[in-house]
Amino acid sequence: MKNTIVVVGSSNADMVVKTSRLPRPGETVLGGEFFQAPGGKGANQAVSAARAGGKVVFIARVGRDALGDRLIEGYEKDGINVGLVTRSGDKPSGVALIMVGGNGENSIAVAAGANSELAPEHIEKAGDVFSSALVLLVQLEIPLDTVETAVRMAAENGAMVILNPAPARELGEEILSKVDVITPNRSETKALTGIDIDSGRDLPRAADVLIGKGVKRVVITLGAEGAYLKEADYEGPLPGYEVEAVDATAAGDVFNGALAAALTKGKPFKMAVEFANAAAAISVQKLGAQTSIPYKRAIDDFIKTRGKPRISL
């Protein structure tokens, strides 16, 4: 029975400074709080999927250094299969420098390190894993030819391909035509479609462009406002939850991981997006990337307690 989520993506150590506000160019803001935490879009999504109840295999590359040791240990604690996380002999583990302002907004710079070495050959050697995969979850913090190889292998094995197109890159129809679900935010949607999401009226237009490129389902993530879904059975907004945001660093990653996990548990797609919205809302109330990722029980309890979300587009 196919029930595995294969996550292909980046693994970083996050160096986070929380300040009263984000500094302007050339400005120093004093009084910040510093902490270090595991991160990287691929790793965040793998951890989110695992904590939300998914059976996860992670394909990534880290350095042969102390940071890499700690990252792998963390994934193992979350029950993630790390047999396909390889070590670089030349490059250090990836590092992200993150500043978080008092309103929860963030600014991020990433040194890819070993992530830049995650190559198509690493994906091809994992061919047996794709035969048991129900879902492939992949992002764009790794080389694009590696993403293309993973998408192709997943499609050949009948796995659902979820592409989180972040950070934004130009993508051709060759890859998009194999994507079952695409999950861009506002800025990524503009990069892919040329359409600014200034109001709710822009969402159907942008979704139609992506469907026209061959994508089967479109989920445009909208932060606190939730998401906009277009699929065969439903088109429209799925509102988010009103919470006090502390740090939005990994909210999109939490959304994607929880979405993948919900789909492997047989949730209808619309309900899976609602589950992912709730997971993301929980995550923004805590500092850090993986330190903020909720477990399935917390997500279920949040939904029961909060009921239907109230924020509308």
For residue 64, CA distances in Å to 41, 198, 221 come to: 20, 45, 35
**Per-residue exposure over 222-236, b if at least 16 CB sit within 10 Å of its own CB, e if not:** bbbbbbbbbbeeeee
Instruction: Find the catalytic residue in 180, 202, 253, 301.
Output: 253
253 in catalytic set: yes
For residue 299, CA distances in Å to 52, 221, 224 come to: 8, 18, 16
Cis peptide before 167 (omega within 30 of 0): yes
Distance in angstroms (rounded) separating the CA atoms of residues 42 and 118: 12
CA angle at 146 for the pair 215 and 180, rounded to the nearest 5°? 20
Sign of CA dihedral 159, 165, 171, 172: positive
Distance in angstroms (rounded) separating the CA atoms of residues 217 and 238: 14
Amino acid at 74: G
Distance in angstroms (rounded) separating the CA atoms of residues 292 and 251: 9
Catalytic residue ranges = 253
